[in-house]
Chains A and B, each alone.
Chain A
Amino acid sequence: MLKHNILLYLRNIKKNKGSFFINLIGLTTGLACAILVYLWVSDELRVDKFHENDTRLYQVLRHQPNGQNEIATYASNSSLMLRALQEEVPEVEMATALYTMGGTMLEGGEKKLRANGNMASEDFFKMFSYPIVAGDKNSLLQDVNSVVISKALADSFFGEGNDPVGKTLTVKHGEDQINAVFTISGVFEIPENSSQQFDFVLTYKKFLELRDPQDIHWGSNSSRVYATLKPGIDVKNFNKKIADFITKKSERTTASVCFTLFSDNYLKGNFDNGVQTGGRINYVILFGLVAFFVLAIACINFMNLSTARASRRLKEVGVKKAVGASRKSLIFQFLTESVVLSFFSLVCAVLIVILLMPWFNDVTGKELKFALEGKALLGIIVITLLTGLISGSYPALYLSKFSPIKVLKGKIKTAFGELLIRKGLVIFQFGISILLIVAVSVIYVQLHFIQSKNLGYDKDNVLVFNREDGLVSNMETFLQEARQLPGVINASYMQGDMTNFSNSSWGHSWPGQTEEAKRLTFRHAHVGPRFIETMGIEVKEGRSYIDEKPNNESKIILNETAVTLMGLKNPVGTLIDMRGDNREIIGVVKDFNIQSLYEEIAPMALLCRTEWVRTLVVKIKAGSEKNTIADLTALYAEFNPGLAFDFRFLDHQYQQQYIAEKRVSVLAKYFAGLAVIISCLGLFGLAMFTAERRKKEISIRKVLGQTATQVIVMISGEFAKLVLISIFIALPIAYILVDLWLSSFAYRIPLKLWYFIGAGLVALIVAMLTVGSQAIRAANSNPVNALRDE
């Protein structure tokens, strides 16, 4: 029977090539989208899930009220947290503290390499399941002079296949004044699906050794802390119990403690007012839905075309029923057809996926591989099977229900165009397409806005590079010489990055301070003289640090927001206590954005200090970049012999913040395009059948004097109505959704009417062009031919 059905289907394809190709193209594209998104989603869902203790591995987070009636969530904790958790909390099985060193120089023999390092306490490798390929897992991170390095680092220093355990490396890290030889005690590997990526690990003992004992207290948060809970502990109850852990330790602090599953942090890393609100998971869900809808649109094409062409199949249904076919066997037959078609499409889709893989990886920033094996294969087959069954379900139920005599006697009026369901499906298709068009244009405009927004500083033509190696001690000299170069406008240094001032503090005091304002949290950064000029930040009052001697403890510069929130009338000259007593406010700068535009500008302080400074910034003249960079490279080489000048442009770094949005916009663009194309293919098919079905009617009308134009309007109008309805349904929904997306930005574009009207017009025009060709053909046919047929 199956063979029979497939045979019948193949011959039907031969007869109806048009609708076959429409369905094939639609389902192929739909499936290709679904497969790509499936691969991407399953890769995202796998991140950090490889740790053996995954379900018990928690990160300790800190919820800190910021003095503006909001709660900020930090991953950093005091180094005292580690011991306290280990000794005082019985639910905790193991705990580890981790300090991120960032860019570090490693030297071994002749080789010098930049690497990212961590400092972690003993249980780190017991809690996190990074495979240990050399060394004894149980004795790692114990000797204060030992280091554990990654396989990649080991290979580049000692060559592949050589056991590095017992060999030594020199670690140089400016900020923490490390410049010492460490013995390699082990080698680890980091799986691709790990969110933590680092090259080497020193001991946490070393970190504590280097730390000024004065800086070790419950208010100084420098480390991340992780813990595994004993099996069977309910984390909700546990969190209630542990919440006031820090406040009990130190009266001055107001932070509460919260344990969140470590592997959740990758996808749900965003916190809003102390509540986990998602993060990457939003995009995972979004694209899951979009792929589903593209596939659904293709399925709808299949349903519509199959039922539209029902009249051609009805005879077959009638005959089969008369010779004894049950309804069940007919349903089975039609489902077989749709499943066969979806597997045809799968073959094409797989080819497309293989071809598009490099492009897709580029867009998503992933390294996905397409392999037909195991879970992926199963997932893809299930998707395909479901696609076939769903798209075949309606035609199967519809076609199989007719009674044979009516069909064979031709008593069924082929007025299927009036079918409500089919119209509903077309409306659904176009609704989704319109929704996507609106989304794409709004995302595009918002991204454009982000890129062109006045940030309060000038991000163009600024070179950014790390303070490392020779620059650690000779930074000032380097900058002085750099300023002499012809193409250099200005040069300075700063702590952290322009795109993220992560340091913050509270508990400061100033004249006229209210009780509430005591909790006001300030962002602050250490910057060099001329920093404000280099960045093009505007000074509103007073002056900037120009020829200030760095590390002068008596001066401070604030931003406008800080002054407003502090309630200072005449800020310049006022003495305040902030990271040091009796600091004089020498200037106020206009607000500038330091975090992503999702965040409002925070109160901010700039201190002229060299400690913790990791970044140099050089503003160069536009037009002579090439020569200037060559000059800077030469200068850099004088200070750092043998080290490549590794710089980045600030505007590029700025764009990197919005890489997720950029990816969304690119993907959304293609998905929206596909949705529109597939919808139109379906509409084309329907128009074709409508024209055919109404051939006789049109001929009679023409004989009675209707003009060709009137015929075109009549046929196009039928479809225009559907698209108009979908516009009216889709636009309000689109408005709600894009407004929701935009509301997550602190700085956003206003929604303009034309985004919506434009999207509707695009859909309508494309639909009319599609239907028009068929309508014109029908209108221009010779009526005599159609009437003679009867």
Chain B
Amino acid sequence: MLLQLNNIFKWVQQGGKRVFLLKDINLQVEEGEFISVMGPSGSGKSTLLNVLGMLDGFDEGEYHFMDESVHSLKEKHRAELYKQYIGFVFQAYHLIDELTVYENLEMPLLYKKIKGSERKALVADMLDRFSIVGKKDLFPTQLSGGQQQLVGVARALITKPKLILADEPTGNLNSKQGEEIMELFKKLNQDGVTIIQVTHSEKNAEYGSRIIHLLDGRKVEG
């Protein structure tokens, strides 16, 4: 088992009242799953993803990730954990505009303190795998949206994570580009990477092996 959420609650105080963002979420994810999270705006999809990615905390409940109890870990330790096992893909790509494709890919490796020669090999490998070798010296603004997201996925993958968290990865793309990214996810999943994506599109959700529906912070069946 990769991760497990037990009775997760998350809320904010608003005018003296608790507004629940997540309410009693229970979830088990096995290695190799491809999960799609769906639900209307404000239903807590992104919050759930952030909690899973350890970028955001929660107020109650337990979170186990690969035998570690995330809820009792210190901030620093938690960062170590997600740095090693989790990759993020964002709707707005979030590449750094001042860095080239090559440098964007290299960045996560710098923070993992990987040596220069190895970094070179890993980046070259990734460029090759995504057929973007010819674009390595271009800046993000010189690429199309689909290409940018390709780089975004490549950046998420370069640290060889066990889990990829994607927040509406195709939200800013046209349908053809979106399809390409989803095909890529499917292939990655077949290679053994666990993927959890948030999506609005039924069609994209179908790529997953399991769909979770959220409504007002609650998991609903159906």
Contact = CB atoms under 8 A, between A and B. Distances in A.
A322 B94 contact: yes
Contact of A405 (B50, B79, B112, B156): B50
B143 interface: no
Interface string B45-84: 0100010010110000000000000000000100100110
Interface string A310-322: 0000011011111
Given A403-B55, A404-B55, A4 B96 contact: no
A324 B88 CA distance: 10
B96 A316 contact: yes
B95 interface: yes
A319 B56 contact: no
Contacts of A321: 55
Interface string B75-119: 010010011000110101011101100010011101110000000
B176 to A, nearest CB: 26
Interface string B112-140: 10000000000000000000000000000
Nearest to A320: B107
A7 B137 CA distance: 14
Contacts of B98: 8, 11-12, 15, 316
Interface in A304-350: 315-316, 318-326, 329
A1 interface: yes
Contacts of A409: 46
B219 interface: no
A8 B46 CA distance: 30
Given A12-B98, A408-B94, A324 B112 contact: yes
A319 B96 contact: yes
B94 A1 contact: no
A323 B155 contact: yes
Contacts of A316: 96, 98
Best-surrounded residue of A11, A15, A324, A403 (most CB of chain B within 10 A): A324
Nearest to A4: B110
A269 to B, nearest CB: 58
B159 interface: yes
Contact of A315 (B76, B94, B155, B156): B94
A312 to B, nearest CB: 10
Nearest to B57: A403
Nearest to A404: B55
Contacts of A403: 55-56
A7 B103 CA distance: 10
Nearest to A312: B97
B103 A323 contact: no
B106 A4 contact: yes
B111 A325 contact: yes
Contacts of A324: 79, 82-83, 108, 111-112, 159
Contact of B88 (A1, A11, A322): A322
Given A323-B108, A324-B111, A324-B112, A4 B94 contact: no
Contacts of B112: 324
A11 B161 CA distance: 30
Interface residues of B, number: 28
A617 B120 CA distance: 87
Contacts of B156: 323
Nearest to A15: B98
A315 B111 CA distance: 17
B50 A323 contact: no
Contacts of A325: 111
A326 B74 CA distance: 13
A322 B90 CA distance: 10
Contacts of A405: 50, 55-56
Nearest to B91: A408
Interface residues of A, number: 24
A8 B95 CA distance: 13
A404 B83 CA distance: 13
A405 B92 CA distance: 13
Contact of B90 (A11, A15, A320, A408): A408
Contacts of B87: 323
B88 A326 contact: no
Given A7-B103, A8-B99, A408-B90, A322 B111 contact: no
Contacts of B110: 1, 4
B55 A322 contact: yes
A326 B79 contact: yes
B32 to A, nearest CB: 23
Interface in B142-165: 155-156, 159
Interface string A248-273: 00000000000000000000000000
A43 B96 CA distance: 49
B148 to A, nearest CB: 13
Contacts of A1: 110
Given A4-B110, A403-B55, A404-B55, A318 B94 contact: yes
Best-surrounded residue of A11, A323, A325, A329 (most CB of chain B within 10 A): A323
Interface string A23-34: 000000000000
A657 B214 CA distance: 87
A158 B88 CA distance: 87
Nearest to B152: A319
Contact of B107 (A4, A15, A404): A4
A326 B55 contact: no
A4 to B, nearest CB: 6
Contacts of B76: 326
Contacts of B55: 321-322, 403-405
A408 to B, nearest CB: 6
Contacts of B107: 4, 320, 323
Nearest to A315: B94
Best-surrounded residue of B50, B99, B110 (most CB of chain A within 10 A): B110
B84 to A, nearest CB: 8
B118 to A, nearest CB: 14
A391 to B, nearest CB: 21
Interface in A632-658: none
Nearest to B76: A326
Contacts of A322: 53, 55, 88, 90, 94
Nearest to B83: A324
B167 to A, nearest CB: 9
A602 B106 CA distance: 81
Contact of B111 (A15, A323, A408): A323
A320 B88 CA distance: 11
Nearest to A326: B79
Contacts of B50: 405
Nearest to A323: B108
B47 to A, nearest CB: 9
Given A405-B55, A405-B56, A326 B111 contact: yes
B111 A319 contact: no
Contacts of A318: 94
Contacts of A320: 96, 107, 111
B165 to A, nearest CB: 10
Interface in B27-53: 46, 50, 53
A66 to B, nearest CB: 72
Best-surrounded residue of A316, A321, A405 (most CB of chain B within 10 A): A405
Interface in A1-16: 1, 4, 7-8, 11-12, 15
26 contacts: A4-B106, A4-B107, A7-B99, A8-B99, A11-B99, A15-B98, A315-B94, A316-B98, A319-B94, A319-B95, A320-B96, A320-B107, A320-B111, A322-B53, A323-B88, A323-B159, A324-B82, A324-B108, A325-B111, A326-B76, A326-B79, A329-B111, A405-B50, A405-B55, A408-B92, A408-B94
Which 6 A-B residue pairs are closest in the complex by CB-CB distance? A324-B83, A11-B98, A323-B108, A324-B111, A319-B94, A325-B111
Interface of A: 1, 4, 7-8, 11-12, 15, 315-316, 318-326, 329, 403-405, 408-409
Given A319-B95, A324-B82, 16 more contacts: A1-B110, A4-B103, A11-B99, A15-B98, A316-B98, A320-B96, A321-B55, A322-B55, A322-B94, A323-B107, A323-B156, A324-B112, A326-B111, A403-B55, A405-B56, A408-B90
